[in-house]
Structures are given as C-alpha cells and as structure tokens.
C-alpha cells in the first residue's frame, strides 16, 4: 500500500516534469532533438511508468553522464534513488538521498528526498525488539522533514508515521524493562519505564508503565512513591486494568490507613488539575 502511494506520487511528479520538458523541446532544433536532456528524461520516465525499472535506471544514469549540469541530471539522481527503493535496496537508496541532500540542499524537490530517506528506514522496521536503529533513524528523519518543511505535502504522512515509530520505540523500552523486572533488577527496569513515561506520553503503554513503577516501588519498600503513582493511574486512567492491578496490589498488602492515603493522593491530583 505504501509503495503504491509513493509510486503514484512519483509518477505524478514525472508527468509534471515531463510536460515542462516537452515545452522546452519545442525550442530545440531538429538536429539536436535526440540528444537533449529533456527528451532523454521523457524516455526514461516512460520506462519507469511501464515499470521497466532497470531500463529506466540506465536511462537516468545516461542523462547524468551526458548532461551533469542540467536540472534533468539532478532529477535523474532522485529518480535513481527512488528506483533503488522500489528494488528494496534501502541502503543504496539512503546513500543516494544523502548525497542529493548534501549536494543540492536548495533543490525544489528536496523535501521529497528527505521524505524518501525517512521512508527507506521506515520500510525496514519489522519488529520493535529487533529494529532499534531503523526506528530511531526513521523518527529522526521524519522529524527533520517536518521541522525543515512544515508546509510540505509529505509532512502530514510523516506525522502519522512518527506516531507508529514512537509506539515501536516505547514497545522496545517496555520489553527491555520487563526483562529487567523479571530478573529483579529494579533500578534498571525503573529507568526504562520512566523513559516511556517521560518521552512517549501519548503511548498506549503509559498505564502499564505506571503500574510497573508501583510494583517496583512496592518491592523496594518505597511505599509512599507506590501510593502516589497508583493515584496518578487512578486519576488519569480510572477504567484501566492497570489501575485495578495497582489498587489490588496495595490493598492486599497494606492497611486501611494506607488505602486512605492512596485516595488522598488521588484527590490531591484532582484538585490541582482543576486549578489549572
């Protein structure tokens, strides 16, 4: 689905560029007709339109070799990067896009190059526990696109993909934290859960991360912190199963006075929130 969407976008771009090239061709003499970069670009674009990717790639490379200083040559480099992406040669595609960004930072289609570089990392994400680097690089590159080109037509899709990537990163922290928790390495686990709470506040994992902190505080004898955290869960996620787990954990192991303190902390958060 993603590749179909991208293919539609790039073919639309090709059509626009090719149309402009056709206008330019009219001004050329008949003797130069077969050697202009405009004509060669149109021919290469037709190959790509027919999904003859390798033939299109060779044609774009020919433009770069024969007319290196033309706009068609720069655009051909972008197209070669796109073809590498289509052929699942993601590392090659990323190298091509890196080169274009560094060499032609003011090119009119440079936002598309940033987007394709980010997507090339994004496409390699398969499982959150195995793809830490691809998650991080995809997030970083999508954010670069949005920060540099907030009005780009690719920004909206980038924002949607950022949500997915952040959820992946949060999931990885949760998996590592639970690994530490099972081994009773409480401080290591606490750091990971706190990372999710602090930096991925929109994640679906927040209620669980808070509950796990309740567990850790309880096991470390930090009862006041456990009660405060349970109250935070109750205030923000009162219908969550994680709040029920926290309540049961503390209720089964604490006195009635302690449970009154949990309700006291809950009311404290509620009152202060209403003051905002």
pLDDT for residue 246 is more than 70: yes
User: Does residue 11 surpass a pLDDT of 90?
Assistant: no
pLDDT at 242 over 90: yes
Residue 213, pLDDT above cutoff 60: yes
pLDDT, mean of residues 133-154: 95
Is pLDDT at 2 greater than 60 in this prediction?
Answer: no
Give the pLDDT score at 269.
45
pLDDT of residue 238: 92
Given this model, what pLDDT does residue 91 score?
95
pTM recorded for the entire structure: 0.75
Biggest distance spanned by C-alpha atoms of the chain: 96
Percent of the chain at pLDDT > 70 equals 77
- Is residue 223 scored above 60 in pLDDT? yes
When pLDDT is cut at 50, 70 and 90, the band that residue 132 belongs to is confident
* For residue 182, pLDDT beyond 80: yes
- Residue-level pLDDT at 200: 94
**DSSP calls for the chain:** -HHHHHHHHHHHHHHHHHHHHHHHHTTS-GGGGGG-HHHHHHHHHHHHHTT-HHHHHHHHHHHHHH-TTSHHHHHHHHHHHHHHHHTT-HHHHHHHHHHHHHH-TT-TTHHHHHHHHHHHHHTT---TTT-HHHHHHHHHHHHHHHHH-TT-TTHHHHHHHHHHHHHHHHHHHHHHHHHHHHTT-HHHHHHHHHHHHHH-TTSTTHHHHHHHHHHHHHHTT-HHHHHHHHHHHHHH-TT-HHHHHHHHHHHHHS-HHHHHHHHHHHHHHHHHHHH-
Query: Which of 11-20, 32-41, 100-109, 129-138 shows the lowest mean pLDDT across its residues?
Result: 11-20
pLDDT of residue 7: 56
pLDDT of residue 127: 63
The CA-to-CA distance between both ends of the chain, in Å, stands at 44
The overall average pLDDT reported for the chain is: 84
Dihedral over Cα of 192, 193, 194, 200: its sign: positive
pLDDT digits (tens, 9 = 90+) for 37-67: 999 999 999 999 999 999 999 999 999 999 9
Mean pLDDT of 119-145: 86
pLDDT band at 155 (very low <50, low <70, confident <90, very high): very high
């Amino acid at each position: 689905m993603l590749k179909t969407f991208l293919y539609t976008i790039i073919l639309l771009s090709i059509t626009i560029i090719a149309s402009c090239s056709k206008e330019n061709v009219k001004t050329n003499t008949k003797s130069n007709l077969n050697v202009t970069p405009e004509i060669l670009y149109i021919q290469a674009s037709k190959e790509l339109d027919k999904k003859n990717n390798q033939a299109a790639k060779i044609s774009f490379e020919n433009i770069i070799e024969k007319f290196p200083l033309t706009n068609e040559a720069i655009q051909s480099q972008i197209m070669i990067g796109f073809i590498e992406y289509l052929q699942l040669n993601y590392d090659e595609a990323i190298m091509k896009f890196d080169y274009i960004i560094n060499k032609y930072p003011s090119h009119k289609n440079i936002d598309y190059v940033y987007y394709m570089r980010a997507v090339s990392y994004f496409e390699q994400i398969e499982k959150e526990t195995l793809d830490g680097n691809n998650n991080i690089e995809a997030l970083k590159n999508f954010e670069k696109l949005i920060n540099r080109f907030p009005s780009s037509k690719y920004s909206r899709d980038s924002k949607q993909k950022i949500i997915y990537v952040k959820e992946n990163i949060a999931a990885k922290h949760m998996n590592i934290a639970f690994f530490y928790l099972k081994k009773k390495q409480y401080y290591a686990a606490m750091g990971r859960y706190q990372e999710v709470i602090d930096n991925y506040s929109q994640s679906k994992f927040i209620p669980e991360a808070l509950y796990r902190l309740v567990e850790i505080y309880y096991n470390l004898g930090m009862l006041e912190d456990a009660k405060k955290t349970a109250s935070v869960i109750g205030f923000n996620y009162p219908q969550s199963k994680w709040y029920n787990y926290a309540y049961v954990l503390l209720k089964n192991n604490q006195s009635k006075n302690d449970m009154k303190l949990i309700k006291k902390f809950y009311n404290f958060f509620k009152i202060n929130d209403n003051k905002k």
